[in-house]
Amino acid sequence: MKSALLAVLLSFPCLLLAEKAGETNVPPDPFGDLESIATAPDYNRKVDRSRGSFTLDAEEGQYTAGSHFGNWFWTLNVERWGNYYVGLIYDSSRPKLGVQVKVGTDSILKGYAPRTHALKTNDPMILGTAYIAKPGEYPVAMLTGDQSNVPAFQVKGIHFSPAPESEPHGQSIDGTIVLEAKSATTYSENMRYEPKDEKQCLGFWTNKEDWAEWVFDVSAPGTFDMTIYYGCGGGNEGSKVAILINDQEKSLTVEDTGGFQSWKKLSLGEVTLSAAGKNKIAIIPETKAAKAVFDVQKIVLTPEG
């Protein structure tokens, strides 16, 4: 006991000297020199990412219990054809449960639904994508690995939201970024990607509230010349359109190009992508002059110099 007290007393001068010198015996923070990672800023205006989404509620479906499974069935009535994310909305106290959803006759999506908790955000668990080829009615069936209409596992519904036809290409070795129409997410009730060979564009833009967005990766940030390729048939010119690039904004007034698939190359000027990683570009109509706004083939960002 006496030796321990003596050791403490002998250490006081060292502690006083360290305090006088502005030092401390606390080890340095090993993460103190880490710099924050820059991320691309968000748009300066609000956008509606719920547009074009819909849910098949559990109350609208038919449920049949089995000894080791649960069966659900809905009838899906779709007006806008295209690609959709398919997500499960549910509550579960089980570690995980196998789920299989079949949309129409072709799309079969499988996954495991983990346990949920009270602080969850209610975001659907995305199982994959399903392509709806044309408007009409489609059967939607779900099979779970156990009963799914009991307190331990309750299905709330199947959620559908617009999905791009393909992922955007990454930035090329020369720095160019090409955003094709098929890699855009169409938050819309009517506008969608048109896959025919002579089109391959965003078309049916007959509703001013419909809009499109590209989310893409940038590996080499910098300043770019921005070009849009669009078409507009005679008598439909005059619509005003905003182009959002992260927190920047461009605008254009649509001109008659000689046809909706007669592409006009229009330079929108310089834009700066200051952060690597995820960046965003959106096309948002401000006005619709006639029957349709325009068709969009692609957006190209070319690095200056």
pLDDT at 147 (0 to 100): 78
Claim to verify: residue 71 and residue 97 sit in the same structural domain: yes
How confident is the prediction for the chain on average, in pLDDT?
A: 90
Claim to verify: residue 299 and residue 182 sit in the same structural domain: yes
Q: Count the domains in the chain.
A: 2
Q: Is 290 exposed, middle or buried (0-12, 13-18, 19+ CB in 10 A)?
A: middle
Structure tokens at 196: 């025919």
Higher pLDDT, 152 or 278: 278
CA distance 185 to 192: 9
pLDDT at 15 (0 to 100): 45
Least confident of 3-7, 50-54, 58-62: 3-7
Claim to verify: residue 73 and residue 154 sit in the same structural domain: yes
Q: Are 90 and 117 in contact (CB under 8 A)?
A: no
Q: How far is CA 245 from CA 102, 231, 272, in A?
A: 37, 21, 9
Residue 150: is its pLDDT beyond 70?
yes
Claim to verify: residue 196 and residue 124 sit in the same structural domain: no
Assigned domain for 32 exists: no
Residue 30: is its pLDDT beyond 80?
no
**Reported pTM:** 0.85
Residue 165 has what DSSP assignment? S
Claim to verify: residue 157 and residue 184 sit in the same structural domain: no
Claim to verify: residue 146 and residue 222 sit in the same structural domain: no
Assigned domain for 141 exists: yes
Higher pLDDT, 201 or 147: 201
CA distance 140 to 36: 45
DSSP 87-122: EEEEEE-SSEEEEEEEETTTEEEEEEEEPP-TT---
Place of tokens 């401000």: 286
Residue 204: is its pLDDT beyond 50?
yes
pLDDT category at 242 given cuts 50, 70, 90 is: very high
Claim to verify: residue 236 and residue 158 sit in the same structural domain: no
Claim to verify: residue 158 and residue 90 sit in the same structural domain: yes
Mean pLDDT of 236-256: 98
pLDDT at 292 (0 to 100): 97
Structure tokens at 51: 């547009």
Claim to verify: residue 120 and residue 190 sit in the same structural domain: no
pLDDT at 22 (0 to 100): 54
- pLDDT tens digits for 259-280? 999 999 999 999 999 999 999 9
Q: Is 294 exposed, middle or buried (0-12, 13-18, 19+ CB in 10 A)?
A: buried
Least confident of 27-36, 236-245, 288-297: 27-36
Higher pLDDT, 7 or 90: 90
pLDDT at 21 (0 to 100): 52
Assigned domain for 49 exists: no
Claim to verify: residue 239 and residue 291 sit in the same structural domain: yes
Assigned domain for 26 exists: no
Assigned domain for 270 exists: yes
CATH number of the domain to which 132 belongs? 2.60.120.260
- pLDDT tens digits for 220-236? 999 999 999 999 999 99
Claim to verify: residue 85 and residue 192 sit in the same structural domain: no
pLDDT category at 117 given cuts 50, 70, 90 is: confident
Domain that holds residue 85: 54-162
Assigned domain for 186 exists: yes
Assigned domain for 47 exists: no
pLDDT category at 176 given cuts 50, 70, 90 is: very high
